[in-house]
Amino acid sequence: MKDAELLLLEDQIRNGALTTVKQKLIAAINSAQVPRRQAATLSAMARRAGALDLSLRILKPIIRTTKDLETPISPLEKGEYAASLLKVGAVTEADRLLAEIDPKDYPRVLLYQSFSLFRQWRYEEAIPLLEQLAKNSDLELYDQAVVSLNLAASFTVANRFLEAANLLEKWEATIQENSWLQLKDLAQELRMQALIGLGKFSEAESIIRSSEVSHPTENHQFILKKRLFFLRCSSKISTILREEFVEFRREAFDFSDWDAMRDCDFYQGVAMQDQRYLSKVFYGSPFLKYRSMVKQALAQSSMVVPEEFNFTHPVENPTTECQIDLWSGKAAGSDLSFPPGLTMHKILCALTHDFYRPVPTGEIFYHLFPTEAFDPESSPNRIYNLLFRFRKSVDQANLGMKVIDRANGFKLFLGDKTSIRIPLGFQSIDLHDREAYLGKLLHRHFGQTLFQTKEAANLLDLTVARTQTFLNALVGTKDVQVLGRGRYTQYQFSNLNINSPPRAVNSR
């Protein structure tokens, strides 16, 4: 691709014409024939335009080659590949690659490390990285603006609203003069949030109103409505009726604004002092910062986080035909079962990790294959095939559960027949070590109650013979003691902590 064409595509990206750029890149580029001198640039453009598969395919022959390269892999190439991995959800692998890059060799790595922290809602940890990058005098003006807006976003989440507002004001004219529409919308959103944080509600509303246009698109209308709705949530929450929350949540769903749905549930829980909604947001948000905010809201209403949560749709649904226990994978009221620690159970856990956002392909891949590198050519197909099996099993149970493909991942819809029981702290449980997981499952279920091999086999979904081998291993580590002999043999956990997980169970 000629340099003039690259410059034109870059201008289109900055002006918000992402769909146009994506279509042009997909039509024009054969990833196997990209000259190496353009590979990192084209990969970055494809990522920014949303062509993530193409972005990874362009750089994969360089990053994942088994051959000796004439020129070693550059920090630029490694950094851009890692940035695309972040976008598909392969965060762990991306972090490993980013950690190998010295910011002195490729300063932009600090921005990508910040993106990784953003995905985990760890904005405060990103602040020193972005501040360091902002001091780099070699950044071109557009990149300086990108870094500054991300720094402003971090300030906002960290409740450093005045610093955010001052930084945004500094860049407002430059962004406007250069017609960087992508950055303009983001800057306006961030400024509104900073003003709300400062209690300047009238000024925030004025900014929202100023963005109205004569002939807005449906998407623009929704963005305006969202901003005004959350402004009311921050300033006049007691005036919002339950029906308004329901209506906004429906619209947010129609526009696939999953985080707006999360925030809507949070504010409804606060407004109505409804523990169900606040608990849903707590259990359905894998971000410590966000969960801390929910705990604080519960405490202010003299409520606490429940020891377990029954995930239903809708949240007010009190009874369902089938209740799936996420720990064991057992489904009360149905023959449906997800053998604990095996593939289908891991998929279920991955899909319930976040109740709101779709789960990216790379994230599901990591849940299933934590030691493998994500391959843009083969890994998605492996996930699709496994999800086909998952869908088939839930369809046969006729419980209304669905896994829906979204542009940025897969989303689980329960329907009104099924609920999932999730214990407090389950998100921190490691499913990658199946033997340790099964030991914890046994201990959680039986505690210090006596149990027999058949009872354990039924819980673990193992044969009696394999369960016996597993229990013998637990006895060998002194975590379990044996009482009785022969068919009267019983087992009991000897303490409340399993110290040395056995290594006995490899498959069913």
- pLDDT attached to residue 499: 47
Write out the two tokens for 491.
């087992």
SS3 422: strand
User: How far apart are alpha carbons 54 and 29 in whole angstroms?
Assistant: 9
Task: From 45, 86, 46, 38, select the one nearest 62 (Cα to Cα).
Answer: 38
Q: What is the enclosing helix (H) or strand (E) of 87?
A: helix 75-87
pLDDT in tens, 65-120: 888 888 999 999 999 999 999 999 999 999 999 999 999 999 999 999 999 999 98
User: How would you classify the pairing of strands 322-325 and 331-332?
Assistant: antiparallel
Contacts of 53 (CB under 8 A, 6+ apart): 376, 380
**117: DSSP letter:** H
Cβ-contact 310, 352 below 8 angstroms: no
**330: DSSP letter:** B
SS3 32: helix
In this prediction, the residues of the chain whose per-residue pLDDT falls under 50 are 499-508
Q: ∠ CA(273), CA(276), CA(279), 5° rounding?
A: 100
User: How far apart are alpha carbons 44 and 77 in whole angstroms?
Assistant: 9
| Residue entry with tokens 């929450």 | 237
- pLDDT attached to residue 503: 40
- pLDDT attached to residue 502: 42
For the chain, what's the residue count? 508
- pLDDT attached to residue 497: 55
433-493, what's its fold?
Arc Repressor Mutant, subunit A (1.10.10)
Helix axes 141-157, 161-177, angle to 10 degrees: 150
- pLDDT attached to residue 270: 95
Contacts of 454 (CB under 8 A, 6+ apart): 464
Q: What's domain 322-427's architecture?
A: Orthogonal Bundle (1.10)
Pinpoint the residues of the chain covered by CATH 1.10.10.10: 322-427, 433-493
